[in-house]
Chain A
């Protein structure tokens, strides 16, 4: 078997195969003409992931960050300073002002001059902030997983539709050429009928037991907790850390089924043509000897969450006539190997092509078309992770009706579709 397609060769193919996005002028939703065609951006949640977005946004010509917001006001100020410093380097006078720092998203959303916001808060605040933004007339790029529980999803979709807003879910693997090619190969059945999909999500350490420590000045910790059950402040609880921090706690997310499931289950949904549907059964690991957490689609395709060393790529699709392996870092390998570079016929399915998640979002904002990871898609992909967690919680298979979005004949599991929300935060 030849080595996998070289990055250079693959990128060449990808460039030909995907859209060359252009940036039409802004159909500006707010009143008043501005001198530029730039989108004005607000960053809500200024922790770990926000810095990645900063890196992606700060040098773009088609947008300008004008406001930052974090319940930890010191973080908002630090982000503001970082943005202003960068813009000052571009300014002929060497000075730049006009970036504001807020503690509460309501303050930022009240500004009429903001076109779109990036929701970079922890998972348990995604929906509340995204909804409020859309109701305030803003378009939204929201980090993944889109929801904290399944009940949050449909109202979020309806809000987007009701207000005609754009929402891009931060599942940026969709904007990667290798994942798109893998999904297109699978969708066109170029490896035959799919028999099994395997993926690896990694593991978080157990959520630690944390005692109380003093809340830092200017940090509205109760607001950080939001709808979740009260817990004492501890810096390790609120820490943004890809390997732990708040991501370890089921209170604030879905652990690995949410954190990485949002990416890999999303690609699997895309490849299987299930963006507006989902699996029908979820079987927890260990149930009657089931070796891996498994979910099953109506056509019998089984998706297994295997151990990190059990497969050579992040996702493996096995079909009756071949296999596709795909990972980050532009890695794709196929059996037969020729599928890696094979162009697609005009009468085959061509999946939505985006090579940059931020550019796709901005293009969607300008053309008012749904982006590659539209709110419905983000909701459906997050649902897969949530249902796997529910099955694990009740320790038995859970059957799911993806059309009605209901668990079938299991009152206890059904109760877990939503979470009680601490007042005054969070209503659906």
Chain B
């Protein structure tokens, strides 16, 4: 079916049947206009009711007449009395000379939803009979008739098939197949013998759909039994036959000289399903052989095959197969999940072949488990290569069966340290909460790796009640890795406490009352726990007497997951006694605000006001003035005016005033080249929404800020579509939307975030970002535009 250029003004089917590929290329630009009105020679055509707006429907103009028709049909759907006049109107249009192709197509698509009785009146059948012999309209008739079940419609198709022309025949053969018209078999069968390969293929498919003995007979006696279309059709029918009949077909295909190898393999696949009791021996024979086409098809059959002894047979024969085959068979046995496979797969898990080993270790986790399997897997975790160990750990984590849990606990309690560590981690992986006491007991174990494994498992599964015990463990530990691991587990366990204020209590007590060295280790955990009491603790320490602890607390506050960390930083910036603490807090607060765009006016203005009062250095002062650009309240405007006294920031303050006035005028007005329905995604503060267009030179977006404002930096955030960055960009800033002038900056886009720095002093009302270059087939996507 290589040549395929069609259009309704030409021969809809078969026009280029048998045409060469070159001819298809030559014709490929011909699909342009639908048939001229009235061009078809359907009999009985009449002049259309010219007042009917549906008659003149075309594709480019309003589809309102179709929408109106749909509404009428929906209202009348359950009432034949109301549907009938609609049907009459539609058939009237189909009979008319003047209805456009678009109108006829819309009508036929909708008639498919009408009751069969309305499509099989004498008048209706006459209309359809004419269309089914008209190569420009046959598909339209098929749209109306094919979905509707009716003997009379079957007869319409059969009659048309008897009288088919070379150009309508293929469509009618397809319809006969889709409707499974048994009476069509003698009409279709000769097409298998013709020269037209496309028609022969369609006939084979139709006979497969009809699937009667007569259809099968036609296929069996086709002149070229090795033709792929014939074989595929026979395979399709065979699936529906009793086993003996099916196997005869499959064997015939397998023995057909010249049949493609992959279709013979499909026939063997059919044999395996038709004769399940014989399948194990056949599968083994295929797997032990060298037929590279058959093997993959046979292996695919194993996982769900119903033969009861298949697992046993494959397990006992496994070592006969080459390594790639063994690996695939083991994967299939894992999917089958029969315990019969266990022993052979345990053996395979020690294979010298890495693929076989990997498949076996993965499969063991899917099979019913035992203490022996657990031991095999634990050894592989402890002593296997990295890839094997990963797979074995996963399998041990999910291994289920009698004695497995006991084996894990026993292994965790005694034995070589390396194995004990594996079993201890397995307690966590398997969520064996009842074994938490076993884990806690290892605190006094002499081996560090055992203690670390227990701590990891405790972090995964221990309840909040163990938080204090873990904290003590952390504080008492002398090994740095153990201290760190224990503290991470403290955090994990504490986060399971639903009371967010209580969860940090043991940690806070240790910071407040423990020795400073311990407190220094614990403070970094505070932001992970968050909550009011944790932030209060960090704030207290930040302004306390111990310089090292103050610095650690300020660092912790700067990493706080939400804005709760900002207030204490500002307070420390303003009120800490030591200058270095004040400076550190000021820097941390400034960085926090630069990073976090969720804080907006009036809170942002208020925070900045407090930070200005903390007497920042000139460089920090300048950064804070720049942050005023994001404010949108009158207070911010006053604040900007108050900064004029410092020459180092006066110009920036004047710019900030411009930006604030622009913000006060309202959010920017967005206009875009394409996809206007998604343009809000550019500036909605949500990187989950996006504006996306083709990566083409014609695409752009423009922001109107109402009044001129300064621009220092623009970031095109591509979060979620990191590869859809602009090929290149050109940025224009102007006060004249029609004449943006020359680009101020051009450059290449960057994955994930495209950062564009603008020349100092850039000001204007309109910001235009134009895509530069083309990237075929991919999008230019912006999740958010960030402006400074």
Contacts and interface: CB of A to CB of B under 8 A. Distances in A.
A216 B28 CA distance: 9
A291 interface: no
B394 A29 contact: no
Nearest to A331: B688
Contacts of B62: 209
A412 B262 contact: no
B300 A24 contact: no
B431 A345 contact: yes
B301 A164 contact: yes
Interface stretch (A241-249, A292-300, A380-388, A398-406): A241-249
Interface residues of B, number: 130
B383 interface: no
A31 interface: yes
B31 A2 contact: no
B400 A27 contact: no
Given A164-B300, A420-B143, A137 B293 contact: yes
A201 to B, nearest CB: 14
A305 B298 CA distance: 42
Given A3-B530, A104-B21, A422-B139, 5 more contacts: A20-B391, A107-B2, A218-B28, A420-B139, A425-B4
A423 B174 contact: yes
A77 to B, nearest CB: 10
Given A209-B63, A420-B112, A423-B142, A346 B398 contact: yes
Contacts, number: 319
A24 B358 contact: yes
A346 B678 CA distance: 46
Nearest to A155: B236
A324 B668 CA distance: 36
A406 to B, nearest CB: 13
A373 to B, nearest CB: 16
Contact of A229 (B13, B30, B143): B143
Contact of B296 (A214, A328, A368): A368
Contact of B174 (A1, A51, A347, A427): A427
Contacts of B292: 27-31
Given A46-B777, A343-B397, A241 B500 contact: no
A11 interface: no
Nearest to B143: A420
B148 A221 contact: no
Of A20, A329, A345, A415, which is in contact with the most chain B CB atoms at under 10 Å from its CB?
A20
Nearest to B561: A3
A88 interface: no
A185 to B, nearest CB: 13
Contacts of B8: 230
Interface in A10-39: 16-20, 22, 24-31
B2 A104 contact: yes
Given A232-B33, A420-B147, A422-B139, A19 B362 contact: yes
Given A209-B60, A427-B178, A241 B692 contact: yes
Nearest to A226: B4
A424 B2 CA distance: 11
A367 interface: yes
A209 B61 contact: yes
Given A2-B495, A209-B60, A423-B171, A428 B301 contact: no
B266 interface: yes
A428 B498 CA distance: 55
B677 A205 contact: yes
A243 B496 CA distance: 41
A243 B692 contact: yes
B430 A345 contact: yes
Nearest to B460: A343
Contacts of B193: none
Nearest to B358: A22
A353 B143 CA distance: 43
A82 to B, nearest CB: 8
Contacts of B404: 346
A351 to B, nearest CB: 11
Contacts of B149: 411
Contacts of A341: 460, 492
Interface residues on A, range: 35 or more
A106 to B, nearest CB: 6
B262 A136 contact: yes
Contacts of B105: 229-230
Given A24-B324, A232-B32, A415 B148 contact: yes
B342 to A, nearest CB: 16
B4 A424 contact: yes
A240 B354 CA distance: 43
Interface in B261-292: 261-263, 265-266, 269-270, 292
Contacts of A342: 431, 461
Interface string B515-533: 0000000000000001000
18 contacts: A17-B397, A19-B391, A22-B355, A22-B358, A22-B391, A29-B262, A79-B777, A104-B24, A162-B236, A164-B266, A165-B300, A209-B61, A211-B58, A337-B496, A343-B460, A367-B359, A368-B299, A368-B332
A344 interface: yes
B328 interface: yes
Given A1-B500, A394-B77, A423-B170, A218 B25 contact: yes
B390 interface: yes
A421 B171 CA distance: 9
Interface stretch (B202-210, B616-624, B727-735): B202-210
B323 interface: yes
Nearest to A106: B2
B726 interface: no
Interface in B219-245: 228, 232, 235-236, 239
Closest 10 pairs (CB-CB, A-B): A211-B60, A137-B262, A164-B297, A423-B171, A24-B355, A20-B390, A368-B299, A164-B300, A367-B331, A415-B147
A90 interface: no
Of A48, A219, A343, which is in contact with the most chain B CB atoms at under 10 Å from its CB?
A343
Interface of B: 1-2, 4-8, 12-14, 17, 21, 24-25, 28-34, 58-63, 74, 77, 101, 105, 109, 112-113, 115, 138-139, 142-144, 146-149, 170-171, 174, 177-178, 198, 202, 205-206, 209, 228, 232, 235-236, 239, 260-263, 265-266, 269-270, 292-293, 295-301, 303, 323-325, 327-328, 331-332, 335, 354-355, 358-359, 362, 369, 387, 390-391, 393-394, 397-400, 404-405, 428-432, 460-461, 492, 495-496, 498, 500, 530, 561-562, 675, 677-678, 688, 692-694, 720, 723, 776-779
Given A164-B301, A346-B405, A78 B777 contact: yes
A353 B269 CA distance: 28
B577 to A, nearest CB: 33
B300 A368 contact: yes
A78 B677 contact: no
Contacts of A353: 394
A307 interface: no
Contacts of A221: 28-29, 31
A28 B198 CA distance: 31
A366 interface: yes
A310 interface: no
Nearest to A370: B303
A203 to B, nearest CB: 8
B267 to A, nearest CB: 9
A163 B239 CA distance: 12
Contact of B328 (A24, A137, A348, A424): A24
A50 B239 CA distance: 35
A47 interface: yes
A290 interface: no
B397 A31 contact: no
B113 A415 contact: yes
Contacts of A420: 109, 112, 139, 142-144, 146-147
A18 to B, nearest CB: 7
Contacts of B30: 215
Interface in A342-376: 342-348, 350, 353, 366-370
